[in-house]
Structure 1
Amino acid sequence: MILDSFDLRGRVALVTGASQGLGQAMALALAEAGADVAALDRIGCEQTCEQIRALGRRYFPVVCDLRRASVDDLNSVVAQIVSNLERLDILVNNAGIIRRAPAVDFGEADWDDILHINLKALFFLSQAVARVMIPRGGGKIINVASLLSFQGGILVPAYTAAKSGVAGVTHALANEWANQGINVNAIAPGYMATENTAALRADPDRSAAILARIPAGRWGLPEDLKGAVLFLASPASDYVHGAVLPVDGGWLSR
Protein backbone atom coordinates (compact mmCIF):
# COMPACT_ATOMS: atom_id res chain seq x y z
CA MET A 1 0.00 0.00 0.00
CA ILE A 2 1.29 3.46 -0.89
CA LEU A 3 0.76 4.83 2.61
CA ASP A 4 3.28 2.29 3.89
CA SER A 5 5.93 4.20 1.93
CA PHE A 6 5.45 7.16 4.27
CA ASP A 7 5.82 5.14 7.49
CA LEU A 8 8.92 6.23 9.43
CA ARG A 9 8.58 3.89 12.40
CA GLY A 10 11.96 2.57 13.48
CA ARG A 11 13.85 5.51 12.00
CA VAL A 12 15.74 8.30 13.75
CA ALA A 13 15.83 11.88 12.46
CA LEU A 14 18.04 14.84 13.36
CA VAL A 15 16.44 18.25 12.77
CA THR A 16 18.48 21.42 13.27
CA GLY A 17 16.88 24.70 14.31
CA ALA A 18 14.01 22.75 15.83
CA SER A 19 12.92 25.01 18.69
CA GLN A 20 10.31 26.91 16.66
CA GLY A 21 8.98 27.75 13.22
CA LEU A 22 9.86 25.62 10.22
CA GLY A 23 12.21 23.32 12.11
CA GLN A 24 9.69 22.57 14.82
CA ALA A 25 6.96 21.83 12.27
CA MET A 26 9.22 19.48 10.31
CA ALA A 27 10.39 17.69 13.47
CA LEU A 28 6.77 17.14 14.46
CA ALA A 29 5.88 15.87 10.98
CA LEU A 30 8.58 13.22 11.17
CA ALA A 31 7.48 12.22 14.67
CA GLU A 32 3.85 12.03 13.55
CA ALA A 33 4.99 9.59 10.85
CA GLY A 34 6.69 7.42 13.47
CA ALA A 35 10.30 8.63 13.65
CA ASP A 36 12.22 9.24 16.84
CA VAL A 37 13.76 12.71 16.79
CA ALA A 38 16.97 14.40 17.87
CA ALA A 39 16.40 18.16 17.87
CA LEU A 40 19.33 20.57 17.69
CA ASP A 41 19.18 24.24 18.53
CA ARG A 42 21.37 26.85 20.20
CA ILE A 43 18.69 27.12 22.89
CA GLY A 44 16.57 24.41 24.43
CA CYS A 45 13.71 22.81 22.51
CA GLU A 46 11.39 22.14 25.46
CA GLN A 47 8.14 22.78 23.58
CA THR A 48 9.24 20.60 20.68
CA CYS A 49 10.29 17.92 23.16
CA GLU A 50 6.91 17.89 24.88
CA GLN A 51 5.01 17.59 21.61
CA ILE A 52 7.20 14.78 20.28
CA ARG A 53 6.99 12.80 23.49
CA ALA A 54 3.22 13.29 23.52
CA LEU A 55 3.21 11.41 20.21
CA GLY A 56 4.92 8.47 21.91
CA ARG A 57 8.23 8.99 20.15
CA ARG A 58 11.71 9.13 21.66
CA TYR A 59 13.34 12.54 21.80
CA PHE A 60 16.98 13.54 22.25
CA PRO A 61 17.90 17.23 22.71
CA VAL A 62 21.17 18.67 21.42
CA VAL A 63 22.23 22.20 22.37
CA CYS A 64 24.75 23.55 19.86
CA ASP A 65 25.35 27.02 18.43
CA LEU A 66 26.06 26.30 14.77
CA ARG A 67 27.48 29.80 14.29
CA ARG A 68 30.41 28.79 16.47
CA ALA A 69 30.52 25.00 16.00
CA SER A 70 33.74 23.43 14.75
CA VAL A 71 33.86 20.33 12.57
CA ASP A 72 34.85 18.36 15.67
CA ASP A 73 31.76 19.72 17.46
CA LEU A 74 29.53 18.50 14.64
CA ASN A 75 31.15 15.08 14.64
CA SER A 76 30.53 14.94 18.40
CA VAL A 77 26.85 15.85 17.93
CA VAL A 78 26.35 12.95 15.54
CA ALA A 79 28.21 10.55 17.84
CA GLN A 80 26.00 11.58 20.78
CA ILE A 81 22.84 10.94 18.80
CA VAL A 82 23.94 7.53 17.58
CA SER A 83 25.06 6.59 21.10
CA ASN A 84 21.68 7.54 22.59
CA LEU A 85 19.25 6.57 19.79
CA GLU A 86 21.31 3.75 18.23
CA ARG A 87 21.04 4.97 14.64
CA LEU A 88 20.55 8.01 12.40
CA ASP A 89 18.49 7.70 9.23
CA ILE A 90 17.33 11.24 8.40
CA LEU A 91 19.00 14.64 8.60
CA VAL A 92 17.07 17.88 8.13
CA ASN A 93 19.49 20.81 7.80
CA ASN A 94 17.06 23.59 8.70
CA ALA A 95 18.99 25.92 11.01
CA GLY A 96 19.72 29.31 9.52
CA ILE A 97 19.86 33.04 10.12
CA ILE A 98 19.26 36.12 7.99
CA ARG A 99 20.51 39.70 8.38
CA ARG A 100 19.53 42.62 6.19
CA ALA A 101 21.66 45.54 5.03
CA PRO A 102 22.61 47.20 1.73
CA ALA A 103 25.50 45.43 0.03
CA VAL A 104 27.70 48.55 0.32
CA ASP A 105 27.25 48.50 4.11
CA PHE A 106 27.16 44.75 4.79
CA GLY A 107 29.61 43.83 7.56
CA GLU A 108 32.17 41.04 7.65
CA ALA A 109 30.93 39.64 10.97
CA ASP A 110 27.38 39.29 9.66
CA TRP A 111 28.67 37.72 6.43
CA ASP A 112 30.75 35.18 8.37
CA ASP A 113 27.92 34.27 10.78
CA ILE A 114 25.46 33.68 7.95
CA LEU A 115 27.83 31.64 5.80
CA HIS A 116 28.98 29.61 8.79
CA ILE A 117 25.57 28.47 9.99
CA ASN A 118 23.67 28.43 6.69
CA LEU A 119 26.30 26.70 4.55
CA LYS A 120 29.49 25.56 6.29
CA ALA A 121 27.75 23.83 9.21
CA LEU A 122 25.22 22.32 6.80
CA PHE A 123 27.98 20.72 4.72
CA PHE A 124 30.06 19.38 7.59
CA LEU A 125 27.04 18.07 9.49
CA SER A 126 25.97 16.29 6.30
CA GLN A 127 29.47 14.86 6.03
CA ALA A 128 29.38 13.55 9.60
CA VAL A 129 25.95 12.02 9.11
CA ALA A 130 26.90 10.44 5.78
CA ARG A 131 29.78 8.65 7.49
CA VAL A 132 27.16 6.98 9.70
CA MET A 133 24.66 6.35 6.91
CA ILE A 134 26.97 4.82 4.29
CA PRO A 135 27.97 1.71 6.28
CA ARG A 136 24.27 1.17 7.12
CA GLY A 137 23.19 1.29 3.48
CA GLY A 138 21.99 4.88 3.17
CA GLY A 139 19.58 7.46 4.49
CA LYS A 140 17.92 10.78 3.73
CA ILE A 141 19.46 14.25 3.89
CA ILE A 142 17.10 17.19 3.42
CA ASN A 143 18.51 20.70 3.19
CA VAL A 144 16.44 23.83 3.60
CA ALA A 145 17.20 26.09 0.64
CA SER A 146 15.18 29.21 -0.27
CA LEU A 147 13.60 31.20 -3.05
CA LEU A 148 16.96 32.98 -2.92
CA SER A 149 18.60 29.80 -4.14
CA PHE A 150 17.02 30.91 -7.44
CA GLN A 151 16.78 34.70 -7.10
CA GLY A 152 18.89 37.59 -5.85
CA GLY A 153 16.66 39.12 -3.23
CA ILE A 154 16.94 42.60 -1.73
CA LEU A 155 19.33 43.64 1.07
CA VAL A 156 20.34 40.03 1.82
CA PRO A 157 23.63 39.40 -0.05
CA ALA A 158 25.09 36.92 2.44
CA TYR A 159 21.84 34.99 2.79
CA THR A 160 21.49 34.77 -0.99
CA ALA A 161 25.08 33.57 -1.31
CA ALA A 162 24.53 30.93 1.36
CA LYS A 163 21.23 29.66 -0.01
CA SER A 164 22.59 29.54 -3.56
CA GLY A 165 25.37 27.46 -2.06
CA VAL A 166 22.86 25.16 -0.36
CA ALA A 167 21.32 24.34 -3.74
CA GLY A 168 24.77 23.69 -5.19
CA VAL A 169 25.84 21.48 -2.29
CA THR A 170 22.57 19.56 -2.58
CA HIS A 171 23.33 18.75 -6.22
CA ALA A 172 26.98 17.92 -5.50
CA LEU A 173 26.26 15.57 -2.60
CA ALA A 174 23.42 13.89 -4.48
CA ASN A 175 25.85 13.13 -7.31
CA GLU A 176 28.37 11.57 -4.93
CA TRP A 177 26.13 9.72 -2.52
CA ALA A 178 23.17 8.48 -4.58
CA ASN A 179 24.97 5.23 -5.41
CA GLN A 180 25.60 4.71 -1.69
CA GLY A 181 21.91 4.82 -0.83
CA ILE A 182 21.73 8.41 0.41
CA ASN A 183 19.07 10.68 -1.03
CA VAL A 184 20.16 14.32 -0.81
CA ASN A 185 17.42 16.81 -1.66
CA ALA A 186 16.28 20.25 -0.58
CA ILE A 187 13.11 22.17 0.18
CA ALA A 188 12.94 25.82 -0.91
CA PRO A 189 10.33 27.56 1.25
CA GLY A 190 8.67 30.68 -0.03
CA TYR A 191 7.72 33.65 2.11
CA MET A 192 6.79 32.01 5.40
CA ALA A 193 5.18 33.53 8.49
CA THR A 194 8.12 32.99 10.86
CA GLU A 195 10.39 35.08 13.06
CA ASN A 196 12.76 35.62 10.11
CA THR A 197 10.07 37.49 8.18
CA ALA A 198 8.58 39.46 11.07
CA ALA A 199 10.06 42.74 9.82
CA LEU A 200 8.70 42.20 6.31
CA ARG A 201 5.23 41.34 7.56
CA ALA A 202 5.23 44.40 9.81
CA ASP A 203 5.91 46.69 6.83
CA PRO A 204 2.50 47.27 5.18
CA ASP A 205 3.91 48.24 1.78
CA ARG A 206 6.46 45.43 1.59
CA SER A 207 4.00 42.82 2.86
CA ALA A 208 1.37 43.91 0.34
CA ALA A 209 3.90 43.73 -2.51
CA ILE A 210 4.92 40.21 -1.49
CA LEU A 211 1.34 38.98 -1.18
CA ALA A 212 0.47 40.45 -4.57
CA ARG A 213 3.06 38.20 -6.20
CA ILE A 214 2.11 34.94 -4.43
CA PRO A 215 -0.52 33.12 -6.53
CA ALA A 216 -1.83 31.34 -3.43
CA GLY A 217 -2.56 34.77 -1.93
CA ARG A 218 -1.12 34.19 1.53
CA TRP A 219 2.09 33.82 3.50
CA GLY A 220 3.21 30.25 3.98
CA LEU A 221 2.91 28.56 7.36
CA PRO A 222 5.40 26.17 8.98
CA GLU A 223 2.82 23.41 8.62
CA ASP A 224 2.98 23.82 4.84
CA LEU A 225 6.38 22.08 4.90
CA LYS A 226 5.15 18.95 6.66
CA GLY A 227 4.14 17.05 3.53
CA ALA A 228 7.31 17.95 1.65
CA VAL A 229 9.66 16.91 4.44
CA LEU A 230 7.79 13.66 5.01
CA PHE A 231 7.98 12.79 1.31
CA LEU A 232 11.71 13.48 1.11
CA ALA A 233 12.40 11.62 4.38
CA SER A 234 10.42 8.53 3.42
CA PRO A 235 10.85 5.56 1.07
CA ALA A 236 8.35 7.29 -1.24
CA SER A 237 11.25 9.45 -2.48
CA ASP A 238 13.81 6.67 -2.96
CA TYR A 239 14.37 7.59 -6.63
CA VAL A 240 14.54 11.35 -5.99
CA HIS A 241 18.09 12.72 -5.88
CA GLY A 242 19.32 16.32 -6.07
CA ALA A 243 15.88 17.94 -6.24
CA VAL A 244 15.21 21.42 -4.87
CA LEU A 245 11.47 21.44 -4.18
CA PRO A 246 9.83 24.88 -3.94
CA VAL A 247 7.06 25.19 -1.37
CA ASP A 248 6.25 28.78 -2.18
CA GLY A 249 2.58 29.26 -2.97
CA GLY A 250 3.52 29.54 -6.64
CA TRP A 251 5.98 32.44 -6.26
CA LEU A 252 8.58 31.06 -8.67
CA SER A 253 5.93 30.39 -11.32
CA ARG A 254 5.12 34.10 -11.60
Structure 2
Amino acid sequence: MKKFLMLLFTVTVLSSYTIQAQSSNNDDSEDFSLPALSIVIDSVLKNNGLLQSRKKHIGVKEFTLASERVDWTRNIGIQTDTRYGTLNNISTNGLDNLATSIATNTRQFNYSVGFYVNLTVFNVINRKNQIGLARLEVDEAKDMVQFQEDEIRQNVIKLYQDLLLKQKILRIKSKNLGDGKVNMQMIEKEFRNGVVPVAEYVRITSITADVEVDYELAKSEFITSKKILEDMARFTF
Protein backbone atom coordinates (compact mmCIF):
# COMPACT_ATOMS: atom_id res chain seq x y z
CA MET A 1 0.00 0.00 0.00
CA LYS A 2 2.80 2.34 0.89
CA LYS A 3 4.60 1.66 -2.40
CA PHE A 4 1.36 2.28 -4.31
CA LEU A 5 0.89 5.67 -2.63
CA MET A 6 4.49 6.63 -3.42
CA LEU A 7 3.97 5.62 -7.07
CA LEU A 8 0.76 7.59 -7.26
CA PHE A 9 2.46 10.64 -5.79
CA THR A 10 5.31 10.38 -8.28
CA VAL A 11 2.94 10.11 -11.25
CA THR A 12 0.93 13.09 -10.00
CA VAL A 13 4.03 15.25 -9.59
CA LEU A 14 5.35 14.15 -12.99
CA SER A 15 2.05 15.01 -14.71
CA SER A 16 1.99 18.40 -13.01
CA TYR A 17 5.53 19.18 -14.15
CA THR A 18 4.69 18.04 -17.71
CA ILE A 19 1.69 20.37 -17.96
CA GLN A 20 3.71 23.30 -16.60
CA ALA A 21 6.67 22.67 -18.90
CA GLN A 22 4.52 22.27 -22.00
CA SER A 23 2.50 25.38 -21.25
CA SER A 24 5.71 27.36 -20.72
CA ASN A 25 7.15 26.19 -24.06
CA ASN A 26 3.95 26.53 -26.05
CA ASP A 27 3.84 29.68 -28.23
CA ASP A 28 2.13 31.12 -31.27
CA SER A 29 4.60 29.34 -33.58
CA GLU A 30 3.11 26.00 -32.61
CA ASP A 31 -0.55 27.01 -32.57
CA PHE A 32 -1.02 29.22 -35.64
CA SER A 33 -2.94 27.96 -38.69
CA LEU A 34 -1.72 28.53 -42.23
CA PRO A 35 -4.13 30.08 -44.74
CA ALA A 36 -5.24 27.86 -47.59
CA LEU A 37 -2.55 27.08 -50.16
CA SER A 38 -4.63 28.59 -52.98
CA ILE A 39 -4.86 31.91 -51.11
CA VAL A 40 -1.10 32.04 -50.60
CA ILE A 41 -0.42 31.19 -54.27
CA ASP A 42 -2.85 33.83 -55.56
CA SER A 43 -1.32 36.48 -53.31
CA VAL A 44 2.23 35.64 -54.36
CA LEU A 45 1.28 35.71 -58.05
CA LYS A 46 -0.40 39.07 -57.57
CA ASN A 47 2.56 40.66 -55.77
CA ASN A 48 5.51 39.14 -57.63
CA GLY A 49 7.41 42.00 -59.26
CA LEU A 50 9.07 39.97 -62.01
CA LEU A 51 5.76 38.42 -63.06
CA GLN A 52 4.08 41.82 -63.25
CA SER A 53 6.97 43.12 -65.35
CA ARG A 54 6.58 40.23 -67.80
CA LYS A 55 2.86 40.92 -68.09
CA LYS A 56 3.61 44.54 -68.98
CA HIS A 57 6.08 43.27 -71.57
CA ILE A 58 3.17 41.51 -73.30
CA GLY A 59 1.48 44.90 -73.69
CA VAL A 60 4.64 46.35 -75.22
CA LYS A 61 4.81 43.54 -77.78
CA GLU A 62 1.11 43.88 -78.60
CA PHE A 63 1.59 47.58 -79.33
CA THR A 64 4.57 46.69 -81.52
CA LEU A 65 2.41 44.23 -83.46
CA ALA A 66 -0.30 46.84 -83.95
CA SER A 67 2.32 49.31 -85.17
CA GLU A 68 3.68 46.82 -87.70
CA ARG A 69 0.20 46.22 -89.10
CA VAL A 70 -0.24 49.90 -89.98
CA ASP A 71 3.40 50.59 -90.83
CA TRP A 72 2.70 50.44 -94.58
CA THR A 73 0.56 53.60 -94.37
CA ARG A 74 3.65 55.75 -93.86
CA ASN A 75 4.52 55.14 -97.54
CA ILE A 76 1.25 56.68 -98.72
CA GLY A 77 0.37 60.32 -98.31
CA ILE A 78 -0.60 63.69 -99.71
CA GLN A 79 1.97 66.31 -100.64
CA THR A 80 1.17 70.00 -100.98
CA ASP A 81 3.20 72.90 -102.29
CA THR A 82 2.54 76.63 -102.16
CA ARG A 83 4.49 79.43 -103.79
CA TYR A 84 4.03 83.17 -103.97
CA GLY A 85 6.25 85.62 -105.78
CA THR A 86 7.26 87.25 -109.05
CA LEU A 87 7.19 84.92 -112.05
CA ASN A 88 8.66 85.61 -115.49
CA ASN A 89 6.62 84.20 -118.36
CA ILE A 90 7.77 84.16 -122.00
CA SER A 91 5.46 83.15 -124.82
CA THR A 92 6.39 82.81 -128.51
CA ASN A 93 3.97 83.02 -131.40
CA GLY A 94 4.98 81.89 -134.90
CA LEU A 95 3.14 83.19 -137.93
CA ASP A 96 4.32 83.41 -141.58
CA ASN A 97 7.87 82.45 -140.62
CA LEU A 98 7.95 85.34 -138.19
CA ALA A 99 8.49 84.72 -134.48
CA THR A 100 7.16 87.10 -131.90
CA SER A 101 8.21 86.74 -128.27
CA ILE A 102 6.23 88.32 -125.46
CA ALA A 103 7.74 88.57 -121.98
CA THR A 104 5.60 89.26 -118.92
CA ASN A 105 6.49 89.84 -115.30
CA THR A 106 3.71 89.12 -112.77
CA ARG A 107 3.28 88.44 -109.05
CA GLN A 108 1.03 85.48 -108.31
CA PHE A 109 0.19 82.71 -105.84
CA ASN A 110 0.61 79.04 -106.91
CA TYR A 111 -0.79 76.06 -104.97
CA SER A 112 -0.50 72.35 -105.79
CA VAL A 113 -1.75 69.12 -104.17
CA GLY A 114 -0.44 65.65 -104.95
CA PHE A 115 -1.09 62.07 -103.80
CA TYR A 116 1.91 59.74 -103.62
CA VAL A 117 2.60 56.04 -103.02
CA ASN A 118 6.16 55.03 -102.15
CA LEU A 119 6.09 51.24 -101.82
CA THR A 120 9.14 49.25 -102.81
CA VAL A 121 9.04 45.58 -103.72
CA PHE A 122 11.11 44.79 -100.62
CA ASN A 123 8.59 46.54 -98.34
CA VAL A 124 5.70 44.62 -99.86
CA ILE A 125 7.45 41.25 -99.53
CA ASN A 126 8.97 41.92 -96.09
CA ARG A 127 5.77 43.30 -94.48
CA LYS A 128 4.37 39.80 -93.87
CA ASN A 129 7.64 38.75 -92.22
CA GLN A 130 7.62 41.78 -89.93
CA ILE A 131 4.06 41.14 -88.81
CA GLY A 132 4.81 37.45 -88.28
CA LEU A 133 7.87 38.30 -86.19
CA ALA A 134 5.90 40.75 -84.06
CA ARG A 135 3.17 38.15 -83.51
CA LEU A 136 5.76 35.56 -82.43
CA GLU A 137 7.22 38.06 -79.96
CA VAL A 138 3.76 38.50 -78.41
CA ASP A 139 3.35 34.72 -78.11
CA GLU A 140 6.82 34.43 -76.63
CA ALA A 141 6.01 37.08 -74.00
CA LYS A 142 2.82 35.21 -73.07
CA ASP A 143 4.73 31.94 -72.79
CA MET A 144 7.25 33.59 -70.47
CA VAL A 145 4.43 34.79 -68.22
CA GLN A 146 2.97 31.27 -68.10
CA PHE A 147 6.40 29.82 -67.34
CA GLN A 148 6.94 32.37 -64.58
CA GLU A 149 3.54 31.62 -63.05
CA ASP A 150 4.21 27.86 -63.07
CA GLU A 151 7.62 28.38 -61.49
CA ILE A 152 6.22 30.62 -58.75
CA ARG A 153 3.33 28.25 -58.06
CA GLN A 154 5.66 25.26 -57.70
CA ASN A 155 8.01 27.21 -55.44
CA VAL A 156 5.17 28.33 -53.17
CA ILE A 157 3.89 24.76 -52.90
CA LYS A 158 7.35 23.57 -51.79
CA LEU A 159 7.72 26.42 -49.26
CA TYR A 160 4.19 25.83 -47.95
CA GLN A 161 4.76 22.12 -47.38
CA ASP A 162 8.20 22.82 -45.90
CA LEU A 163 6.61 25.24 -43.44
CA LEU A 164 4.04 22.64 -42.39
CA LEU A 165 6.84 20.13 -41.83
CA LYS A 166 8.87 22.60 -39.77
CA GLN A 167 5.82 23.33 -37.64
CA LYS A 168 5.34 19.61 -36.92
CA ILE A 169 9.03 19.24 -36.08
CA LEU A 170 8.79 22.26 -33.78
CA ARG A 171 5.88 20.70 -31.91
CA ILE A 172 7.84 17.46 -31.46
CA LYS A 173 10.89 19.40 -30.23
CA SER A 174 8.65 21.37 -27.87
CA LYS A 175 7.24 18.18 -26.38
CA ASN A 176 10.74 16.74 -25.99
CA LEU A 177 11.86 19.93 -24.27
CA GLY A 178 8.91 19.79 -21.89
CA ASP A 179 9.64 16.17 -21.03
CA GLY A 180 13.33 16.98 -20.64
CA LYS A 181 12.62 19.80 -18.22
CA VAL A 182 10.34 17.58 -16.16
CA ASN A 183 13.04 14.93 -16.04
CA MET A 184 15.62 17.56 -15.08
CA GLN A 185 13.46 18.83 -12.22
CA MET A 186 13.08 15.30 -10.88
CA ILE A 187 16.85 14.68 -11.18
CA GLU A 188 17.63 17.94 -9.39
CA LYS A 189 15.39 16.96 -6.51
CA GLU A 190 16.97 13.51 -6.30
CA PHE A 191 20.45 15.05 -6.59
CA ARG A 192 19.76 17.39 -3.67
CA ASN A 193 18.56 14.41 -1.65
CA GLY A 194 21.75 12.49 -2.48
CA VAL A 195 20.00 9.82 -4.52
CA VAL A 196 21.58 10.70 -7.90
CA PRO A 197 25.39 10.88 -8.20
CA VAL A 198 27.17 13.87 -9.69
CA ALA A 199 28.10 12.07 -12.92
CA GLU A 200 24.49 11.16 -13.64
CA TYR A 201 23.33 14.68 -12.80
CA VAL A 202 25.88 16.18 -15.23
CA ARG A 203 24.85 13.72 -17.97
CA ILE A 204 21.14 14.53 -17.62
CA THR A 205 21.93 18.26 -17.54
CA SER A 206 23.88 17.97 -20.82
CA ILE A 207 21.07 16.01 -22.47
CA THR A 208 18.49 18.59 -21.39
CA ALA A 209 20.67 21.41 -22.75
CA ASP A 210 20.96 19.62 -26.11
CA VAL A 211 17.20 19.16 -26.24
CA GLU A 212 16.70 22.87 -25.58
CA VAL A 213 19.19 23.78 -28.33
CA ASP A 214 17.34 21.49 -30.76
CA TYR A 215 14.09 23.24 -29.89
CA GLU A 216 15.53 26.70 -30.43
CA LEU A 217 17.03 25.67 -33.79
CA ALA A 218 13.71 24.18 -34.92
CA LYS A 219 11.91 27.34 -33.81
CA SER A 220 14.37 29.56 -35.69
CA GLU A 221 14.03 27.51 -38.89
CA PHE A 222 10.24 27.61 -38.64
CA ILE A 223 10.10 31.38 -38.10
CA THR A 224 12.53 31.99 -40.99
CA SER A 225 10.45 29.88 -43.40
CA LYS A 226 7.27 31.57 -42.23
CA LYS A 227 8.69 35.08 -42.73
CA ILE A 228 9.95 34.23 -46.23
CA LEU A 229 6.53 32.97 -47.29
CA GLU A 230 4.82 35.98 -45.71
CA ASP A 231 7.18 38.34 -47.54
CA MET A 232 6.37 36.67 -50.86
CA ALA A 233 2.61 36.79 -50.20
CA ARG A 234 2.75 40.35 -48.79
CA PHE A 235 0.56 39.56 -45.76
CA THR A 236 1.07 38.11 -42.27
CA PHE A 237 -0.22 34.62 -41.51
TM-score by length of 1: 0.22
Higher Cα Rg: structure 1 or 2? 2
Q: Which has the higher contact order (CA 8 A, sep 6+)?
A: 2
Larger helix share, 1 or 2? 2
